[in-house]
């Protein structure tokens, strides 16, 4: 039951699109990730995802629209929804999703990265 410093954890890595696990509860993982550029289009068959912007801003693209998220805002992407995050400048994001959720969902490739604990 130790506290977690988001600033400390975020300063410990520089990679983009490589989620880091910082907590776990009730079968869910709390992850930190940095975005820069365009991610791959994908969906998660069995997992909703929460994206909370800590620093910066990014655009969540859907097939039919896009939603801008600013610092302090979050969005929940429902399971099965095709989406991709896009960040024109580096953004720091907290993710909340079921444990073992693959970052690229139904797609595998060079952007696929297993989350690791920090």
Strand 116-117 with 20-25, pairing: parallel
Query: Which residue carries 């490589």 as its tokens?
Result: 18
* pLDDT band at 8; cut points 50, 70, 90: very high
Q: Which two tokens stand for residue 66?
A: 């896009």
- Contact between 93 and 53 (Cβ < 8 Å): yes
Please enumerate in sequence order all residues whose Cβ is within 8 A of that of 78, keeping only pairs 6 or more positions apart, or say none. 48
As a whole number of angstroms, the distance between CA 28 and CA 92 comes to 20
As a whole number of angstroms, the distance between CA 6 and CA 32 comes to 8
Could you give the 3-state DSSP secondary structure of residue 95?
Answer: strand
Q: What would the mean pLDDT of 20-34 be, rounded to a whole number?
A: 97
* pLDDT band at 114; cut points 50, 70, 90: confident
Domains of the chain: 6-117 (2.60.120.10)
In this structure, of 31-35, 49-53, 79-83, 105-109, the range with the lowest mean pLDDT score is 105-109
User: Exposed, middle or buried by CB within 10 Å (0-12, 13-18, 19+), for 92?
Assistant: buried
Q: Which two tokens stand for residue 50?
A: 């929460």
In degrees and rounded to multiples of 5, residue 86 shows phi and psi of: -135, 130
């Amino acid at each position: 039951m130790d506290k977690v410093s988001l600033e400390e954890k975020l300063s410990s890595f520089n990679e983009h699109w490589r989620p880091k696990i910082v907590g776990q509860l009730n079968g869910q993982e709390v992850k930190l990730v940095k975005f820069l550029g365009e991610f791959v289009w994908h969906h998660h068959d069995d997992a909703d995802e929460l994206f909370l912007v800590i620093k910066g801003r990014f655009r969540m693209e859907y097939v039919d629209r896009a939603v801008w998220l600013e610092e302090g805002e979050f969005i929940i992407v429902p399971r099965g929804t095709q989406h991709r995050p896009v960040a024109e400048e580096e953004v720091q994001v907290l993710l909340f999703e079921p444990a073992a959720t693959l970052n690229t969902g139904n797609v595998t490739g060079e952007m696929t990265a297993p989350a690791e604990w920090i």
